[in-house]
């Protein structure tokens, strides 16, 4: 049997992880290779979606796993999955470069990173909810170890906090999973399907839909028989049933929606479920912070796009405003908290929380622009916050502290650092021409055109252009500008080759996406548009 | 026939140069300046071609247009749009950029960072041209933000400098008796931050304005590109818009959009109450200030409001007029008592921008649009000249900017004296000078509007008149203090000389533009200024008013600063409260610093941080088994930890475990247990 590209994007990191454990000094090279495979696969898929936009899943593979459960190793990506896959490969490669000189148990370290990457990629490529959930939980283990062993002084507290929060968030998801399976008849369920759905997702002119045979009825309607199982696409077809089934007095859909929402909001993280993040970031080593901010947070957004909204569209619409408000509060509150931070890493961590709020706000308004913007924001934030964490790591390596007020004037001895930090901060402040602007503008304009009370949320969220400029550029001023505050900083070396290798690709991508965002947006838009249409049509 | 490539070429050439100069080695700053000036000169030539082709016909020319981003439902695009106003502005921007680059080669000839100037400057020029040539509001916004970047970079050109309180050179050379400046904060690094953030306050409003137009456009039924000028005009003509945005409909929605855009203009054009960043921006090189913070960038707000005139409803225009009038007088009053020669010019820029907004507030029928833009153009040239002269004076006086110590420099630097003299005559609106032509138009428009609307509409006109009176006084004082009379401080003045030949040539080249006849024959026609009997009458009245104000202000300055030097001190003593208020910048800087920097910014930020994670004390003690304190519950994180500990406590009580840190684990156990229970129910 031939293993397909998407499966390789999970298997390659796993293999690399095993190779990392071999004695010798090859671990980092294996890790880099293990990250480059999903990057290549993701970029290829993303390129395909940019050239031929579509809302369908491509590069599909399906291997039966448990016929009793109806679980399969089904993988496939749409534009969203492709972008996430490319991002996770890229960020992991960069994190590996930045941890090139990891001295403490390097083999175990790189092996754990590879396990983490495999689990994350599993989430991004799988179309099976059981596999999704398993990967979702598996990634906690390497992360717990990476923070708990390689972290700073309070690493055990931070690691445990991260673990408890995310586990508590996702436990309900398991309950939902079981409930969904439990309420599907053993022989499957006959579901009427819309012509549009068939057209959008069939590669064989309507004979099958998501691998199921389409049957034309005498009265002109079409149906498919959905087997009992975990295929997300099949579960989505049954959204009306989740709506009418009840458990514990609430509809299964409401229960499931809350379960997914909770699991994802902890990961995003949304205020007030965010306080694990500053601890985790501050204690984690630089490369792990990069992984955390660059990919792990996106899983929350991805979960909402892939599971929460498709499976439970009625709730997504009913709760839209509340989720928009949560996003808005996150944007503003975290920005203010960032203004009050003295620890560089915590400042950047809160900027992450603020920026991720745009993903929620964009999605909540249910416009094509907003939903696409939320996803673009997830990608661009992955680039921007990774860069910022790397740059914080650069000064931490030299000064061994992260106190914002303990620097000053670093642009003089470290000019390259000064310029790259400027670009990172301007991207964080959402300057047009840099990646950070694209997602925010799309999410904002989407919110403005969403109607109802959403323009109010947009108008308030627009204040964040002031706050983000303030905390980003104020940090820049205190770190890089003004006179050299400490004479010993004059001897700090500028970015070396390894640090440049980690940061320059991100700078280039931030510029590229900022100047020419349409390939990325075009790849993401059809899926987001289809999602919005699906949700909006559920409750006219 | 205009080639399609013309406007895009003018737009992109400075960007191309900026990228090349950024990547090129920095060993030859002179060469970089020369190359930059050559590129800008070529752009000027192309811009003149464009203007000659566009202006006589009066019609706008839409250039190439490409979609930039498809948002599903509507599209954001990039393209060029040239109308007479834009064509003239393009010429002015390119011309001034050429001059400033030539001049700067002399100005920075011994600055080790000089090679950085050309690329940053050309990046700014590109951004400025983006604002001018944009064919839609979104592209304007992009340019708008990028000029902010250019301004940020150039204000921070010497960002390694300390705050002026710690800067020995500054303390030695600053104006004696200067007050109102927060010396422990003011530095290039602070000024660039302040400028950017204060601009962003306006930009938040700008975004809401864009949002209103997008909402109007999409609700109007699938307008593909709601933000192009043409579609905006169509939306505005509709008057009654479908749907609501922020609870507003119809004309109110247009007013909201207009005020949103104007909000951005208030930030960028340094209008009250967001004007305080501009004087601080003088921390940047004078050459950069001459074009960014005097001639073009700060006028972008005026330009944009004129561009968006179709949807500026009478209500919105009233706000524009009042803000302009208030700023005009407020800034002029401050300029009267400044001792820093650049500070005088900075506040005069703020004041003149207020004058332009006063004109715009009068409405198109009264000739406000044409008048405001005319004054923008004439002001750009003479204010640029004033700043370049100021740079020459500062250079000649070994860095001193103190009007107390100058005087009698006319003999040592005649070219600079003549050039700045002409520019002063222009700014005060002396007959036969360019300012006379445009200021008369401004006052005429405001007067005509006041006569027609009556009541509150007189406010902006009267404020503008008072501002003009003071302008005549402080600008004449400025020139007298520097160039006339005797040398007050020989130590500073004795090396003074005119700048090098090519820098002097720039000053000479700018002189003709201060003359009225360069502009008066064609500009009003090109901008479509309305004319008729009522307008002629208003012009006549305005001319009388302006001449009276000029004579009063200039006469006072000549008497008080040249003929009877003691008089000004006597006046300052007699009007002490007023004098102090002006010198203290009306307390606005201090108030904003207290309210926004210390209050809403740092203060609330620290409070939010405390509420979010708790005190440093708490953060420091997280790892150990420190006992839980009640005050930790005051923070969000503390509350959640408290819940975890409570769960742990329950678990400990049941299982008789001892280790305090296990608490969190038990929290997990509790949650998992609950989930198992739930599953039991489900099964």
Largest CA distance in chain A: 85
Is B662's pLDDT higher than 60?
Answer: no
φ/ψ (deg, to 5) at A255: -60, -45
Q: ipTM higher than 0.85? A: yes
Query: Which of 20-79 (A) contact B at CB < 8 A?
Result: none
Interface test with B, best of A426, A465, A471 (most B CBs within 10 A): A465
DSSP 8-state class, residue B683? -
Is B597's pLDDT higher than 90?
Answer: no
Pick B99 or B176 by higher pLDDT. B99
Interface test with A, best of B69, B158, B593, B625 (most A CBs within 10 A): B69
- Judged by average pLDDT, the poorest of B30-44, B377-391, B487-501 is B487-501
Q: What is the rounded average pLDDT of the residues A78-98?
A: 95
pLDDT of residue B654: 61
Is B627's pLDDT higher than 80?
Answer: no
Q: What is the rounded average pLDDT of the residues A382-390?
A: 95
CA distance B146 to B127: 5
Angle between helices A140-150 and A155-182 (to 10 degrees): 180
Query: Which of 350-379 (A) contact B at CB < 8 A?
Result: 367-369, 372-373
Helix (H, G, I), strand (E, B) or coil at A223: strand
Helix (H, G, I), strand (E, B) or coil at A431: coil
In this structure, are residues A138 and A299 in contact, taking their beta carbons and an 8 Å threshold? no
- Judged by average pLDDT, the poorest of A7-11, A288-292, A427-431, B218-222 is B218-222
Reference A34, options A14, A60, A62; nearest CA is A14
Angle between helices A27-51 and A518-538 (to 10 degrees): 70
| Terminal CA-CA length for chain A | 46
Tokens of B369: 């649009």
CA distances from A35 to A67, A73, A88, A117, A302 (A): 32, 21, 8, 8, 20
CA distance A476 to B245: 37
B640 contact A CB<8A: yes
CA distance B263 to B274: 10
Interface test with B, best of A432, A454, A527 (most B CBs within 10 A): A432
B72 contact A CB<8A: yes
* pLDDT cut 70: percent of chain A above it: 98
Phi-psi region of A285 (alpha: psi -120 to 50; beta: other; left: phi over 0): beta
For B47-75, what is each residue's pLDDT tens digit? 999 999 888 887 888 888 899 998 888 88
CB pair distance less than 8 Å for B207 and A444? yes
Residues found in chain A: 540
Give the residue on B whose Cα is nearest the Cα of A454: B246
CA distance A451 to A454: 6
pLDDT of residue B249: 77
Say which of A411, A448, A528 has its CB closest to residue B211: A448
pLDDT of residue A220: 78
In this structure, are residues B360 and B446 in contact, taking their beta carbons and an 8 Å threshold? no
φ/ψ (deg, to 5) at B274: -105, 25
pLDDT of residue B56: 85
CA distance A394 to B127: 32
CA distance B220 to B235: 8
In this structure, are residues B213 and B257 in contact, taking their beta carbons and an 8 Å threshold? yes
B683 contact A CB<8A: yes
Phi-psi region of A414 (alpha: psi -120 to 50; beta: other; left: phi over 0): beta
Reference B475, options B392, B545, B385, B412; nearest CA is B385
DSSP 8-state class, residue A213? E
- Chain A positions in Cβ-Cβ contact with residue B613 (cut-off 8 Å): 275, 278, 337, 346
Helix (H, G, I), strand (E, B) or coil at A180: helix
Helix (H, G, I), strand (E, B) or coil at B186: coil
CB pair distance less than 8 Å for A528 and B219? no
Is A46's pLDDT higher than 50?
Answer: yes
CA distance A167 to A161: 10
In this structure, are residues B363 and B323 in contact, taking their beta carbons and an 8 Å threshold? no
B135 contact A CB<8A: no
For A52-85, what is each residue's pLDDT tens digit? 988 889 898 989 888 888 888 999 999 999 999 9
Q: What is the rounded average pLDDT of the residues B176-200?
A: 85
Give the residue on B whose Cα is nearest the Cα of A415: B160
Task: Among A290-294, B513-517, B673-677, name the most confident range.
Answer: A290-294
Is B218's pLDDT higher than 80?
Answer: no
Distance of CA B633 to the CA centre of its chain: 45
For A225-261, what is each residue's pLDDT tens digit? 888 889 999 899 888 888 888 877 788 899 999 999 9
pLDDT band at B509 (very low <50, low <70, confident <90, very high): very high
CA distance A343 to A340: 9
B453 contact A CB<8A: no
CB pair distance less than 8 Å for B193 and A336? no
Angle between helices B458-483 and B434-453 (to 10 degrees): 160
CB pair distance less than 8 Å for A333 and B608? yes
In this structure, are residues A84 and A298 in contact, taking their beta carbons and an 8 Å threshold? yes
Q: What is the rounded average pLDDT of the residues B604-608?
A: 89
CA distance A56 to A427: 32
Say which of A174, A372, A473 has its CB closest to residue B196: A473
A403 contact B CB<8A: no
Of all helices (H) and strands (E), which one includes residue A190? strand A189-193
> Chain-wide mean pLDDT for chain B?
86
CB pair distance less than 8 Å for A337 and B612? yes
Map A489-502 to HEC letters: HHHCCCCCHHHHHH
DSSP 8-state class, residue B158? G
Q: Where are the alpha helices (DSSP H) in B308-413?
A: 314-335, 341-361, 368-396, 409-412
Say which of A167, A433, A466 has its CB closest to residue B146: A433
Q: What is the rounded average pLDDT of the residues A7-34?
A: 91
Is B656's pLDDT higher than 70?
Answer: no
In this structure, are residues B402 and B173 in contact, taking their beta carbons and an 8 Å threshold? yes
DSSP assignment of A250-315 equals EEHHHHHHHHHHHHHHHHTTPTTS-THHHHHHHHS-HHHHHHIIIIIHHHHHHHIIIIIHHH-HHH
Reference B267, options B329, B204, B312; nearest CA is B204
Helix (H, G, I), strand (E, B) or coil at A55: coil
Interface test with A, best of B142, B162, B200, B221 (most A CBs within 10 A): B200
Strands B61-70 and B75-82: antiparallel
Distance of CA A418 to the CA centre of its chain: 28
Task: Among B259-263, B634-638, B647-651, name the most confident range.
Answer: B259-263
φ/ψ (deg, to 5) at B656: 55, 45
Pick B476 or B403 by higher pLDDT. B476
In this structure, are residues A394 and A417 in contact, taking their beta carbons and an 8 Å threshold? yes
CA distance A508 to A504: 6
Phi-psi region of B656 (alpha: psi -120 to 50; beta: other; left: phi over 0): left
CB pair distance less than 8 Å for A372 and B162? no
Helix (H, G, I), strand (E, B) or coil at A211: coil
CA distance B538 to B549: 16
pLDDT of residue B657: 47
């Amino acid at each position: 049997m031939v293993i397909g590209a998407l499966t390789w994007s999970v298997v390659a990191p796993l293999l690399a992880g095993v190779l990392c454990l071999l004695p010798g000094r090859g671990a980092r090279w294996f890790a880099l290779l293990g990250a480059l495979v999903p990057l290549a696969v993701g970029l290829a898929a993303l390129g395909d979606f940019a050239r031929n936009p579509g809302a369908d899943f491509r590069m599909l593979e399906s291997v039966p796993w448990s016929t009793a459960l109806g679980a399969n190793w089904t993988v496939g990506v749409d534009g969203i999955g492709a972008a996430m896959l490319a991002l996770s490969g890229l960020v992991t490669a960069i994190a590996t470069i930045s941890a090139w000189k990891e001295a403490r148990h390097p083999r175990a370290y790189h092996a754990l990173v590879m396990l983490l990457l495999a689990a994350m990629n599993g989430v991004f490529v799988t179309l099976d909810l059981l596999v999704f959930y398993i990967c979702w939980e598996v990634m906690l283990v390497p992360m717990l170890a990476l923070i708990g062993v390689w972290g700073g002084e309070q690493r055990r507290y931070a690691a445990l906090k991260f673990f408890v929060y995310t586990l508590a968030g996702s436990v309900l998801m398991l309950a939902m999973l079981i409930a969904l399976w439990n309420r599907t008849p053993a022989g499957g369920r006959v579901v009427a399907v819309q012509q549009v759905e068939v057209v959008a997702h069939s590669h064989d002119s309507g004979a099958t839909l998501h691998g199921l045979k389409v049957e034309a009825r005498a009265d002109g309607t079409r149906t498919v028989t959905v087997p009992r199982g975990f295929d997300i696409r099949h579960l989505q077809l049954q959204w009306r049933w989740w709506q009418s089934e009840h458990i514990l007095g609430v509809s299964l859909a409401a229960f499931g929606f809350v379960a997914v929402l909770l699991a994802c909001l902890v990961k995003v993280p949304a205020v007030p479920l965010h306080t694990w993040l500053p601890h985790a970031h501050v204690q984690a080593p630089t490369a792990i912070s990069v992984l955390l901010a660059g990919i792990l947070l996106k899983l929350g957004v991805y979960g909402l796009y892939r599971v929460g909204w498709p499976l439970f569209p009625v709730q997504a619409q009913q709760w839209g405003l509340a989720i928009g408000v949560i996003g808005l509060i996150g944007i503003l509150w975290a920005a203010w908290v960032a203004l009050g931070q003295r620890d560089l890493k915590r400042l950047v961590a809160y900027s992450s929380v603020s920026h991720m709020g745009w993903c929620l706000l964009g999605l909540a308004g249910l416009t094509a622009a907003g939903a696409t913007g939320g996803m673009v924001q997830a990608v661009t934030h992955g680039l921007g916050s990774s860069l910022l964490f790397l740059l914080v790591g650069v000064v931490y390596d030299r000064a061994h502290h992260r106190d914002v007020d303990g620097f000053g004037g670093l642009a003089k001895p470290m000019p390259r650092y000064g310029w790259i930090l400027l670009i990172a901060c301007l991207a964080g402040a959402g300057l047009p021409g840099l990646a950070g602007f694209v997602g925010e503008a799309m999410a904002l304009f989407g919110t403005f055109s969403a109607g109802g009370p959403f323009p109010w949320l947009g108008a308030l969220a627009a204040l964040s252009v002031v706050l983000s400029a303030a905390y980003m550029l104020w940090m820049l001023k205190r770190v890089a500008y003004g006179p050299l505050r400490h004479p010993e900083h004059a001897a700090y070396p500028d970015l070396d080759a390894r640090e440049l290798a980690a940061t320059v690709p991100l700078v280039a991508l931030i510029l590229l996406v900022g100047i020419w965002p349409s390939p990325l947006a075009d790849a993401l838009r059809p899926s987001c548009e289809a999602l919005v249409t699906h949700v909006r049509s559920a409750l006219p | 026939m205009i080639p399609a490539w013309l406007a895009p070429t003018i737009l992109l050439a400075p960007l191309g140069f900026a990228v090349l100069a950024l990547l090129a080695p920095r060993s030859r700053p002179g060469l970089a300046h020369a190359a930059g000036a050559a590129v800008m000169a070529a752009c000027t030539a192309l811009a003149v071609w464009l203007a000659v082709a566009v202006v006589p016909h009066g019609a706008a020319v839409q250039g190439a247009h490409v979609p930039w981003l498809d948002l599903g439902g509507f599209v954001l695009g990039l393209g060029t749009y040239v109308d007479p106003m834009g064509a003239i502005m393009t010429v002015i921007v390119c011309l001034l950029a050429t001059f400033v680059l030539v001049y700067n080669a002399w100005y920075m000839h011994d600055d080790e960072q000089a090679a950085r100037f050309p690329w940053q400057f050309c990046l700014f020029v590109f951004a400025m041209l983006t604002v001018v040539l944009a064919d839609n509001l979104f592209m304007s916004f992009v340019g708008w933000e990028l000029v902010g970047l250019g301004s940020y970079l150039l204000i921070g050109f010497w960002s390694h400098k300390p705050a002026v309180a710690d800067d020995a050179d500054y303390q030695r050379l600053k104006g004696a008796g200067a007050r109102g400046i927060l010396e422990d904060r003011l530095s290039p690094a602070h000024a660039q931050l302040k400028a950017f953030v204060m601009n962003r306050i306006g930009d938040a409003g700008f975004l809401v304005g864009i949002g209103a137009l997008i909402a109007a456009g999409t609700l109007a039924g699938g307008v593909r590109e709601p933000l192009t000028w043409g579609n905006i005009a169509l939306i505005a003509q509709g008057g009654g818009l479908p749907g609501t945005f922020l609870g507003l409909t119809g004309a109110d929605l247009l007013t909201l959009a207009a005020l949103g855009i104007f909000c951005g203009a208030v930030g960028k054009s340094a209008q009250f109450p967001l004007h305080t960043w501009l004087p601080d921006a003088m921390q940047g090189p004078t050459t950069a200030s001459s074009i960014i913070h005097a001639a073009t960038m700060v006028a972008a707000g005026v330009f944009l409001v004129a561009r968006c005139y179709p949807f500026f409803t009478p209500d919105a225009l009233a706000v524009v007029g009042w803000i302009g009038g208030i700023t005009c007088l407020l800034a002029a009053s401050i300029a009267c008592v400044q001792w820093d020669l650049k500070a005088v010019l900075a506040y005069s820029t703020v004041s003149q921008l207020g004058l332009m907004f006063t004109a715009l507030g009068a409405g198109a029928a009264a000739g406000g649009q044409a008048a405001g833009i005319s004054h923008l153009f004439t002001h750009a040239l003479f204010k640029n000249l004033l700043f370049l002269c100021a740079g020459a004076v500062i250079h000649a006086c070994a860095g001193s900017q103190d009007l107390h110590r100058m005087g009698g420099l006319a003999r040592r630097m005649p070219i600079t004296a003549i050039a700045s003299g002409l520019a002063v005559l222009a700014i005060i609106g002396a007959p036969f000078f360019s300012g006379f032509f445009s200021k008369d138009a401004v006052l005429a428009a405001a007067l005509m509007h006041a006569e027609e609307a009556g009541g509150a509409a007189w406010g902006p006109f009267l404020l503008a008149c008072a501002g003009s009176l003071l302008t005549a006084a402080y600008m004449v004082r400025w020139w007298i203090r520097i160039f006339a009379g005797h040398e007050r401080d020989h130590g500073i003045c004795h090396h003074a000389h005119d700048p090098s030949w090519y820098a002097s040539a720039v000053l000479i080249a700018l002189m003709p533009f201060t003359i009225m006849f360069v502009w008066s024959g064609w500009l009003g026609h090109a901008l479509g200024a309305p004319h008729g009997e009522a307008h002629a009458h208003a012009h006549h009245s305005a001319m009388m008013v302006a001449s009276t104000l000029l004579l009063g202000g200039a006469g006072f300055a000549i008497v008080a600063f040249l003929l009877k030097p003691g008089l000004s001190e006597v006046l300052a003593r007699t009007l002490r409260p007023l004098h102090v208020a002006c010198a203290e910048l009306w307390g606005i800087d201090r108030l904003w610093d207290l309210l926004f920097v210390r209050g809403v910014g740092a203060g609330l930020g620290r409070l939010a941080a405390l509420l979010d994670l708790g005190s440093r004390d708490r953060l420091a003690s997280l790892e150990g088994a420190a006992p839980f304190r009640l005050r930790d519950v005051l923070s969000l994180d503390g509350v959640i930890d408290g819940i975890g500990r409570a769960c742990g406590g329950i678990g400990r009580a049941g299982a008789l475990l001892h280790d305090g840190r296990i608490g969190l684990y038990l929290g997990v156990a509790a949650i998992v247990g609950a989930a198992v229970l739930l599953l039991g129910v489900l099964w």
